[in-house]
Amino acid sequence: MDEWWRAGDSVWREDAATSTRFVLEAVQGVPRIDWELARNRLTDVALLVGAALPTTCTHAAIFPPEFSFCPECGAALHRAGPVQHAAWWGPATGLLPPGAATLPRHVPHGLSQTALPLGEALEGREPEPAVGRPDWRMPAPPNAVCVFAAADFGFSAQRLVALAYTRNVVQYWDPPGARWHVFAADEGAADLHFTASAYAWLPPAESQGERRRGEFGIVPTAHGLFRLVVNPLAESWRTEPVFQARLAASPGGVGRRIACPFVTPDGVRLWSAAADGADPEVLEIDPLDPAVPVPQAGWSRPFSYDGRLYWLHEEGQLLWRPGHPPRWLPWPFPWVPRLQFGGPARSRDGRLWLIGNDGANYSFRALDDGAGLGTPQVESIDGARLGFGTLLFRRGHQVKDDPWSVEDVEDQARGDALVLPLLEAVSATRDQPSGLVLRFPGFTGRAEAALAGEVLPRTFVEWIGRQNVILDEIARLKNPGECVPFVWHGSLWLHHPTWNEIRGWKLEGFA
Ligand SMILES: [Zn+2]
């Protein structure tokens, strides 16, 4: 007769006839367990639920949590201690769940920035001109156009999820098995495709109550906002509707409110709600110029700054401060932004600026209510500048003061290069901007061409900081703006949709 064990928050059945002897029957907060699938990744499952594994005996393949010795022979069992790593949610607005390294208030949220101390860990490597190599390579997920999140999702171990938003696929990395698993959608789950605008999700907000297991956050789809919940014990995912409508852009969060532009027969409106989707409202958008309608697609990822949410578009910007009507501000003709150059840059007085071109010259335009009014909050510059936040470059030279300041020329030869920032490390203890960049030596063409499919013969993956470190060299890169950096398992990783492997660099001394 089977024996039942309740251990921690899980229930196990002991059946000597099964191949694993112990069978996980239930885990609190997990709706379903597919043991046929789960037993193929026993080590991974043991880490997720805090179970024990055999060391020397073969009386069972897995033991319930709280077991220290095999009940049959007394052999000691192996229980992995919790490994604490900061969670990674990618560029995110809104409230972050516990475990994430939250950015300070004085920087915009939603750009490619992190508060993790990457520089301290990477700058111990041999500095340039030495060319390093990745410490790790992991296979790219089968559906390579994706965004990454690394968190414990309410389980006992941190895991990496790659969400392929152009293909409706949720991919899960099994670290002990060193392979990706494509999770199946539960019946009735929403289709996760979203390509109308740049992709961004809202991580699960910090809640007062119990953390929901598997909660990934609120994601945009073609048919609205859905809460995505993954279940690694059944290799599946499900969704719950939050707001059903045709979305114009990805959702953003500011303070305790979230918001998302959506399409109605009468044009674009802004939906807003509390962080958990409660207390929704629909807001009319105040047009500066009724002749220029609010675009229904093609928006960049939203960011928040100074209590306000921003969505940027080739045609203008949408601003919203909770408690006020949202405003649509078209750019004054003939100025057109260069959104592909990175994103808004921050001046020393704390204002944000966007680079663009009026057909003849580049300039930075202040992003605020006056930006669309034609008032001359514009700083002219003599060439393209790539970056965002305070990590900004004019060709190969870093721009260190205001976005329009003269670049810092440490090495004349660098003028022959182009640098594209990928990830800024925000630190209170550094006075110079640090971060991960791509350097294209000897590239003398236009920045627009480098970002638009031209083959770049040589690319250095480079850390810019107290000392610069070349992490790798890449041949024949195309579309460098599609690189996705992320931090997971004590390493910095760089993914590109055309690469077979994700490159990883160990962050020495990094918890
Ligand atoms: Zn034993």
pLDDT tens figures, 406-435 = 998 887 777 789 999 999 999 888 888 999
Instruction: Please give the distance, rounded to the nearest whole angstrom, from the Cα atom of residue 67 to the centre of ligand 1.
Output: 12
Residue type at 494?
Answer: L
Least confident of 99-103, 283-287, 446-450: 99-103
Task: State residue 206's pLDDT score.
Answer: 66
74: CA distance to ligand 1 center in Å? 6
CA of residue 146 to ligand 1 center, whole Å: 43
Mean pLDDT of 183-189: 98
**CA 451 to mean position of chain CA atoms:** 20
CA 159 to ligand 1 center in whole angstroms: 29
Compute, in angstroms, the gap from residue 59 CA to the centroid of ligand 1. 4
Residue 338 pLDDT > 60, yes or no?
yes
Give pTM, 2 decimals.
0.95
Distance 55 CA to ligand 1 centre (A): 9
Residue 208 pLDDT exceeds 60 = no
Model pLDDT, residue 83? 72
For residue 77, the CA-to-ligand 1 centroid distance in Å is 9
* Cα 19 to middle of ligand 1, angstroms: 14
161-168 contacts, C-beta under 8 A, 24 or more apart:
161/216, 161/230, 163/192, 163/201, 163/216, 163/219, 163/228, 165/192, 165/193, 165/194, 165/195, 165/199, 165/219, 166/193, 166/195, 167/143, 167/193, 168/192, 168/193
Q: What is the pLDDT of residue 375?
A: 66
**d(CA 50, ligand 1 centre) in Å:** 19
Interacting residues of 431 by C-beta distance below 8 A, sequence separation 6+: none
Determine contact, residues 458/473, Cβ cutoff 8 Å. yes
Going from the Cα of 190 to the center of ligand 1, the distance in angstroms, rounded, reads 45
* Distance from residue 4's CA to the centre of ligand 1 (Å): 18
Distance from the alpha carbon of residue 73 to the mean position of ligand 1, in angstroms: 4
CA–CA gap between residue 345 and residue 329 (Å, rounded): 19
Q: If you measure from the C-alpha of residue 335 to the centroid of ligand 1, how many angstroms do you get, rounded to a whole number?
A: 73
Q: Under a CB-based contact definition with an 8 Å cutoff, are residues 273 and 281 in contact?
A: yes
**Cα of 101 to ligand 1 centre, how many Å?**
42
Average pLDDT over all residues of the chain: 94
pLDDT category of residue 370 using cuts at 50, 70 and 90: low
- C-alpha of residue 13 to centroid of ligand 1, in Å: 17
* Ligand 1: centre distance to CA 158 (Å): 29
pLDDT of residue 269: 98
* Phi/psi at 207 (5° precision): -115, 160
3-class DSSP state of 46:
helix
pLDDT of residue 431: 82
Q: Is 81 or 484 the better-scoring residue by pLDDT?
A: 484
**Distance from Cα 69 to the centre of ligand 1, integer Å:** 8
Structure tokens at 432: 């110079």
Distance 75 CA to ligand 1 centre (A): 5
Cα-to-centroid distance, 80 and ligand 1 (Å): 18
Separation of CA 283 and ligand 1 centre (Å): 64
pLDDT > 90: what percent of the chain? 86
Å from CA of 39 to ligand 1 middle: 19
- What span, in angstroms and rounded, lies between the C-alpha atoms of 315 and 442? 33
Segment 155-174 mean pLDDT: 97
Residue 56 CA, ligand 1 centroid: distance in Å:
7
The whole-number pLDDT of residue 22 equals 97
* Out of 160-164, 328-332, 461-465, least confident range: 328-332
pLDDT value of residue 402: 96
CA of 16 to the centre of ligand 1 (A): 12
**What residue spans define the domains of the chain?**
3-78
Using the mean position of ligand 1's atoms as its centre, give its distance from the Cα of residue 68 in Å.
11
* Residue 72 alpha carbon to ligand 1 centre in Å: 5
Span from the CA of 257 to the centroid of ligand 1 (angstroms): 54
What is 350-362 written as a DSSP string? Answer: S-EEEEEE-SS-E
9 CA distance to ligand 1 centroid (A)? 24
Å from CA of 400 to ligand 1 middle: 63
Cα(58) to centroid(ligand 1), Å: 6
In the reported structure, the alpha carbon of residue 15 is separated from the centroid of ligand 1 by a whole-number distance in angstroms of 15
8 Cα–ligand 1 center, Å: 21
pLDDT for residue 385: 98
- Mean pLDDT across 473-487: 97
CB 317, CB 367: distance < 8 Å: yes
Q: What is the mean pLDDT of residues 12-30?
A: 95
Q: Tell me: the pLDDT tens digits for 383-396?
A: 999 999 999 999 99
Please list, in sequence order, all residues whose beta carbon lies within 8 angstroms of the beta carbon of residue 406, skipping any fewer than 6 positions away.
none
Q: In what order do the strands lie in the sheet with 22-27?
A: 3-7, 10-14, 22-27
- The residues with which 241 forms a beta bridge, in sequence order, are 226
- In angstroms, the Cα distances linking 376 to 73, 343, 357 are 81, 20, 14
71 CA to centre of ligand 1 in angstroms: 7
